[in-house]
Amino acid sequence: MSRAAAFANAVVIGASGGIGQALVEALLADGTATVHGLSRSGTAVASARAGPVDIRDEESVAAAAERVRESGPVDLVIVATGLLHDGRISPEKTYRGLSADALANYFAVNAIGPALVAKHFLPLLPRDRRAVFACLSARVGSIGDNRLGGWYGYRASKAALNMLIRTWSIEVARTRPQAICVGLHPGTVDTGLSAPFQAGVPPEKLFSPAFSARCLLDVAARLTPEQTGGCYAWDGERIVP
């Protein structure tokens, strides 16, 4: 199944970020009829339908969903937002570095924000055909795969996101049996989010946003309803919870 055939009406939240912009551009290049590129700035990406959304503000998320609703049922929603570091916080190397403020910010962006998006955008998925609701997650959010420790706030918030996704998938399946709710791990992508942590990454494992976006859309196009609730890497591998 081609991506264009799979997704006629798509929404990318976080469209001004490195991966988000690449997702919008890939969908447009594949001939997706309608692409909504939403971000805090509301900046247009290529010929996508631009619009503002702040995932920390539920009124903003609700208003964005109402605007998108006018274009009809949505076949694909990708939440491409995420926080690993900013000018005030960075991944903790030890539990001694934990702070309530940093933890609250990690959860606000990486778990609570996507939850608000799900609340208002899951109702836009069609009831009678396949659709995908996906959030960018991370391999380090896997509890079973955690062997290095550290990065407490980022790991915990992504693990929380993965649990939210699993729980959405159960509820959504009752009314939309062909819908798929998943987390997607983009790999290590050459963006501002990963920039401070690229030193030890082999060149072949550091992806361009365009490469990662195309891989993620390929995975999203191949997933089946039986795979809903899981987290999948850029190459289609399922990541252990």
User: What are the chain's domains?
Assistant: 3-233 (3.40.50.720)
Compute CA distances 94 → 151, 155, 206, whole Å. Answer: 8, 13, 26
Say what the alpha-carbon torsion angle 141, 157, 172, 213 is, to the nearest 10 degrees. -60
Q: Is residue 17 a contact partner of residue 194, using CB atoms and an 8 Å limit?
A: no
Give strand ranges (E) for the chain. 9-13, 34-39, 49-52, 76-79, 131-136, 179-185, 188-189, 206-207, 231-233
Structure confidence by residue, pLDDT tens digits, 161-188:
999 999 999 999 999 999 999 999 999 9
Q: Has residue 2 got a pLDDT over 60?
A: no
Q: Is residue 141 a contact partner of residue 189, using CB atoms and an 8 Å limit?
A: no
Q: Is 84 exposed, middle or buried (0-12, 13-18, 19+ CB in 10 A)?
A: buried
The pair of three-digit structure tokens given for residue 172, joined into one six-digit string: 């959504």
Percent of the chain residues topping a pLDDT of 70:
97
Which pLDDT belongs to residue 150? 96
Which pLDDT belongs to residue 201? 77
Residue 1 binned pLDDT confidence (cut-offs 50, 70, 90)? very low
Q: Is residue 79 a contact partner of residue 135, using CB atoms and an 8 Å limit?
A: yes
Tell which wins on pLDDT, 60 or 203: 60
Find tokens 């659709």 and name the residue: 131
Which pLDDT belongs to residue 152? 98
Q: Has residue 78 got a pLDDT over 60?
A: yes
Compute CA distances 241 → 11, 145, 169, whole Å. Answer: 26, 8, 15
Structure confidence by residue, pLDDT tens digits, 126-156:
999 999 999 999 999 999 999 999 999 999 9
Q: Which of 40-54, 110-124, 185-199 reaches the highest mean pLDDT?
A: 110-124
Average pLDDT, the chain: 94
Structure confidence by residue, pLDDT tens digits, 45-67:
888 999 999 999 999 999 999 99
Percent of the chain residues topping a pLDDT of 90:
86
User: CA 101 to CA 97: how far, in whole Å?
Assistant: 11
Which pLDDT belongs to residue 6? 67
Which pLDDT belongs to residue 193? 81
